[in-house]
């Protein structure tokens, strides 16, 4: 792929010029008020601007525990060490001891802080102690469910523990076939899990451990009735883990309905990660968003870019346009089947393409290393969606940049 090389000072000048605004005049979006996302929420563009905190100004987290201190099986500790886990993240440090003791937990933390390991390690340990334990993990999207399933398999390598991933958009016949074999955990999306339970392929009464990951998204996406069906089919005596980056009044009611005096653990200090530089790109008169996007993507530092669009058709159209402009690009949205979506994610994760254009299906939970920039080509529907979109960059305390186009 042909790409122009820009000097860093030229890049900074471009960003400054594009994001600054006049205090007078009709062209000033700030003076006209808040911008409206596709879902109807009006978001003040000022919320899209946030300077990253320099590393030397951030307090160094000092965990109370080491992984070797946790009361988990020695073989699991060895796998954790082999994977390079040295000290727990804040959410892991706080959650794992309570989880091991059997408490219901509501965990609140920014995305990219290690929530998956925080619930997987205690549950895997529980299965090691008692192989009859069965675990159900629910995620809002197939991509996140598949990612959690991969993590489960990685943590249990060589242990003869098995998981089945049950998500929509994939062959239900193959999933039914997999459910006929021995398994310790089922990981899936609410709709598919409900379908399989109704077909008597999953006996919910056998599961006394459940995780709701990215719970706020599940309720936002209309999965509340499916999730309630699943919860009501489980034993009353169960352990529930409820993880989310944001909590609403609706979620609080759901927590009161299904959790028993949960331990609340919050390590969230602000809505967005401190190490993500956030800014707007002001589209000047005479230019289009596509013109500006092309200029940005030709800069050398834009080496792994996730672009969010509003609609499936708009995302696909933008992806094809960028491809015709000479960029290595793939797209992911609801009209793509599972193999197409997994292929696109794989190419992006393995740095075989520079750009992934996506709808909000890619905004939650996906852990993709070293995304240099998140670009909101279209303004998100809600500020919560914005938080999750930009959480794809700056993961694991690395620096990232999030840019939002304002017309």
Positive or negative torsion for Cα 110, 222, 104, 154: negative
Task: Give the architecture-level CATH label for domain 67-266.
Answer: 3-Layer(aba) Sandwich (3.40)
By mean pLDDT, which of 76-85, 242-251, 275-284 is the weakest? 242-251
Q: Which two tokens stand for residue 101?
A: 């003791």
* DSSP percent split of the chain into helix, strand, coil, nearest 5: 40, 15, 45
Q: How far apart are CA 216 and CA 254, in angstroms?
A: 10
Q: Name 259's Cβ contacts closer than 8 Å, sequence gap at least 6.
A: 104, 106, 240, 242
Q: Is 114 left (phi over 0), alpha (psi -120 to 50) or beta?
A: left
Alpha-carbon distance values, 330 to 249, 300, 335, 354, 372 (Å): 37, 19, 13, 9, 16
Q: How confident is the model at residue 186 (pLDDT cuts 50, 70, 90)?
A: very high
Give the position of tokens 């340990």.
125
Q: Which fold would CATH assign to domain 8-56+274-406?
A: Rossmann fold (3.40.50)
Q: How far apart are CA 227 and CA 219, in angstroms?
A: 8
Q: How confident is the model at residue 43 (pLDDT cuts 50, 70, 90)?
A: confident
pLDDT higher than threshold 80 for residue 9: no
Query: Burial level of 130, CB count in 10 A (0-12/13-18/19+)?
Result: exposed
Q: What percent of the chain has pLDDT over 70?
A: 83
Which of residues 273 and 354 earns the better pLDDT score?
Answer: 354
State residue 376's pLDDT score: 95
Domain boundaries, the chain: 8-56+274-406, 67-266
Q: How confident is the model at residue 111 (pLDDT cuts 50, 70, 90)?
A: low
Strand ranges for 115-238 from DSSP E: 135-138, 163-166, 185-188, 209-212
- The residues that bridge with 330 in the sheet, in sequence order, are 356
Which of residues 160 and 365 earns the better pLDDT score?
Answer: 160
Q: Name 342's Cβ contacts closer than 8 Å, sequence gap at least 6.
A: 143, 146
Closest CA to 402 of 232, 279, 225, 243: 279
Q: For the residues 79-98, what does the mean pLDDT come to? A: 92
Q: Name 303's Cβ contacts closer than 8 Å, sequence gap at least 6.
A: 354, 372
Q: How confident is the model at residue 2 (pLDDT cuts 50, 70, 90)?
A: very low
The domains spanning 8-56+274-406 and 67-266 adopt the same CATH topology: yes
Q: How far apart are CA 309 and CA 261, in angstroms?
A: 40
| Residue 47 CA from chain centroid, whole number | 20
Q: How far apart are CA 310 and CA 305, in angstroms?
A: 17
338, 142 in Cβ contact below 8 A? yes
The structure's pTM equals 0.69
For residue 71, how many other CB atoms are within 10 A of its CB?
10
State residue 181's pLDDT score: 92
State residue 96's pLDDT score: 96
State residue 114's pLDDT score: 86
pLDDT higher than threshold 60 for residue 26: no
Q: How far apart are CA 371 and CA 266, in angstroms?
A: 26
Q: How far apart are CA 111 and CA 367, in angstroms?
A: 9
Q: For the residues 339-344, what does the mean pLDDT come to? A: 89
State residue 10's pLDDT score: 43
pLDDT higher than threshold 50 for residue 335: yes
- The residues that bridge with 265 in the sheet, in sequence order, are 107
Q: Which residues of 356-393 are buried (b: 16+ CB within 10 A; e: fewer)?
A: bbbbbbbbbbbbbeebbbbbbbbbbbbbbbbbbbbbbb
pLDDT higher than threshold 60 for residue 18: no
pLDDT higher than threshold 90 for residue 55: no
368, 392 in Cβ contact below 8 A? yes
pLDDT digit string, tens, across residues 136-164: 999 988 888 999 999 999 999 999 999 99
Which of residues 364 and 166 earns the better pLDDT score?
Answer: 166
Q: How confident is the model at residue 273 (pLDDT cuts 50, 70, 90)?
A: low
State residue 271's pLDDT score: 59
Which of residues 12 and 227 earns the better pLDDT score?
Answer: 227
**Mean pLDDT, all residues of the chain:** 84
State residue 239's pLDDT score: 96
Q: How far apart are CA 123 and CA 36, in angstroms?
A: 42
């Amino acid at each position: 792929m042909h790409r122009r090389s820009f000097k860093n000072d030229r890049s900074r000048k471009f960003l400054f010029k594009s994001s600054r605004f006049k205090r007078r005049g009709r062209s000033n979006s700030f003076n006209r008020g808040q911008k409206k996302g596709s879902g109807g929420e009006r978001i003040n563009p000022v919320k899209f601007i946030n300077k990253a905190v320099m590393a030397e100004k951030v307090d160094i987290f000092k965990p109370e525990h080491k992984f070797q201190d946790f009361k988990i099986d020695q073989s699991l500790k060895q796998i954790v060490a082999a994977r390079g886990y040295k000290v727990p993240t804040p959410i892991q440090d706080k959650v794992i001891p309570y989880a091991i003791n059997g408490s219901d937990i509501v965990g609140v933390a920014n995305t990219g802080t290690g929530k998956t390991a925080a619930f997987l390690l205690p549950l895997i340990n529980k299965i090691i102690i008692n192989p009859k334990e069965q675990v159900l993990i629910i995620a809002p999207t197939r991509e996140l469910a598949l990612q959690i399933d991969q993590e489960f398999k990685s943590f249990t390598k060589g242990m003869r523990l098995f998981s089945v991933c049950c998500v929509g958009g994939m062959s239900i016949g193959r999933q039914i076939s997999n459910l006929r074999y021995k398994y310790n955990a089922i990981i899936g999306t609410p709709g598919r899990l409900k379908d399989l339970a109704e077909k008597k392929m999953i006996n919910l009464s056998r599961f006394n451990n459940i995780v709701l990951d990215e719970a706020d998204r599940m309720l936002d996406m209309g999965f509340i009735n499916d999730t309630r069906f699943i919860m009501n089919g489980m034993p009353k005596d169960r352990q529930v883990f409820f993880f989310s980056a944001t909590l609403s009044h609706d979620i609080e009611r759901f927590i009161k309905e299904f959790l028993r005096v949960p331990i609340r653990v919050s390590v969230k200090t602000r809505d967005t990660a401190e190490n993500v530089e956030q800014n707007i790109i002001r589209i000047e008169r005479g230019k289009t968003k596509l013109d500006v996007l092309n200029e940005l993507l030709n800069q050398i530092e834009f080496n792994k870019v996730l672009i969010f669009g509003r609609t499936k058709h708009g995302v696909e159209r933008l992806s094809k346009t960028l491809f015709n402009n000479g960029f290595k690009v793939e797209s992911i949205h609801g009209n793509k089947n599972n193999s197409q979506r997994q292929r696109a994610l794989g190419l992006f994760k393995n740095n075989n393409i520079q750009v992934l254009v996506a709808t909000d299906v890619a905004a939650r939970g996906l852990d993709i290393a070293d995304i240099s920039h998140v670009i909101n080509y279209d303004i998100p529907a809600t500020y919560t969606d914005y938080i999750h979109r930009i959480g794809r960059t700056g993961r694991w305390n690395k620096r990232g940049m999030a840019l939002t186009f304002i017309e």
